[in-house]
Structure 1
């Protein structure tokens, strides 16, 4: 039996219409365009240089009030005074040519400090001086008393007599000697000292270079003696390294320090 040829089934390939790539990527393109637009606007308004305006100068008033927290001494011209030259402060009550008035000590209050009884001081001062002199000698230092208590008559001769001999005016003489009635020697508490090993320095500023003066600087206060006229003293009296005074009791302290007030 003859085979009957059955024809193959003819498959019809029907192509479905493909979506355009442009259609599929359109939203993406729109998004990109949108982003680029935003970026462009951002660049224009933010990143683009701004026009510079001319600087404005704001003038401050000459004096601008400040709060207390802002004020400092150097910045406040009203509270800062210009430096002034320092001048000696001299007593303004009762002084004469820079010297203060002192009462003459009564004779009965005095005691000798030398073997010949020629030089005397108040009893308390005399006792302390002799003790100081003994202690200094034990250390090889010889304290020689040159002058101690002095009457008004003796001071008058020392001031006016020497002034005439040296042809000095009163102001110049007062730099190295007090007028009568104004000498610390009247009180019986003052003493002029020399160095027994260097007599050439007696009553000279060179006394400050002696062993005696060095010892006094270190030890005089232990016996209540102090230098009356140090360098640049307030009274304006010349430096006298030899002139010392006793301030070891109430009367001596009041004598010298009340006189300044």
Structure 2
């Protein structure tokens, strides 16, 4: 029932109390109470969804970092092992190749193949490598044209030949090894093994053969001025760094790549 206003007439435009508004037309629908069981499942579902999202994001981050690490490792060259991880030489081991390949001031040399040797003496007893032999014969002919007779005394030697020259002569002369090495290389360490070395004498004064006095001959003077034209050089000049006695009669051929590497490989410029 409508209440009357002060004039005694009913107030048709006034808003009735909420209890008087039909349920279907009320602004706020009636809320039905939810059971504890429904609310529990909702909360559990939300928590589970959150955990799943967090786990998924974490896995994605870990996988991204792992892929980045693999790509970096593949694109970056591996660093050399540190000194502490590299094998260390044992006590007393040789510290350099040069020390391993030298003995009493002489370098180690391999024997020249017999097939590569050519005679430089009329009887064929003295031989050199073909390139060296041809160069010597040309040099000998040039010297002869000027009245100088160059005589080959000793060319290629085997290691067995050097055994006699070093050990047996050393014993005959009662020399210690270091003293003998000043004038003769140990077997396996003679330039004569290479087929590029040659002892030269002067036919005019044979008494100076294999003797320091050879430096006073015309043959030595001619060689000093002309030998380089034929790619020959003195092996053991005075005060040589190897400590070998001065040998004015001992010359070696360095006229091709093999001979040059044989005598100079591994050495710095002098």
TM-score by length of 2: 0.62
8 Å CA contact 1:100, 1:183 repeated in 2: yes
Q: How far did 1:92 drift?
A: 3.8
Structure-1 separation of matches of 2:225 and 2:266: 27
Q: Distance in 2 between matches of 1:150 and 1:164?
A: 20
The residue correspondences of 1:12-31 to structure 2 (distance < 5 A) are: none
The yes-or-no answer on 1:129 pairing with 2:133 is no
2:249: which partner in 1?
A: 242
Q: Which runs of 4+ in 1 moved over 4 A?
A: none
Give distance in 2, aligned partners of 1:226 and 1:177: 19
**Counterpart of 1:203 in 2: which secondary structure?**
coil
- Residue 136 of structure 2 aligns to a residue in which SS? helix
Q: Match of 1:193?
A: 200
1:165 matched to 2:210: no
C-alpha distance 200-126 of structure 1, shift in aligned 2 (>3 A): same
1:1-261 map, 5 Å? 92-258=99-265, 260=267
Higher helix share: 2
CA–CA distance in 1 between the matches of 2:116 and 2:182? 29
Asked if 2 retains the 8 angstrom alpha-carbon contact of 1:159 and 1:179, the reply is: yes
Contact 1:208 1:214 in 2 (8 A): yes
Q: Number of aligned pairs?
A: 171
SS in 1 for 2:107: coil
Question: Which string of whole-angstrom CA distances, capped at 9 and with x for unpartnered residues, describes residues 140-171 of structure 1?
Answer: 10100000000000011110010011010100
Question: What value does the CA root-mean-square deviation take over the aligned residues?
Answer: 1.1
Deviations 1:84-111 (A, max 9, x none): xxxxxxx644210000000000000100
1:11-69 Cα shifts (integer Å, max 9, x gaps): xxxxxxxxxxxxxxxxxxxxxxxxxxxxxxxxxxxxxxxxxxxxxxxxxxxxxxxxxxx
TM-score, structure 1 normalization: 0.64
Higher relative contact order structure (alpha carbons within 8 Å, sequence separation ≥ 6): 1
Classify 1:259/1:96 alpha carbon distance in 2 versus 1 (closer, same or farther; 3 Å).
farther
Change (3 A) 1:260 1:158: farther
| 1:107-134 Cα distance to aligned partner (Å, 9 max, x none) | 0010011111100000000000000001
Q: Find the aligned partners of 1:119 and 1:260 in 2 and give their Cα distance.
A: 30
SS in 1 for 2:106: coil
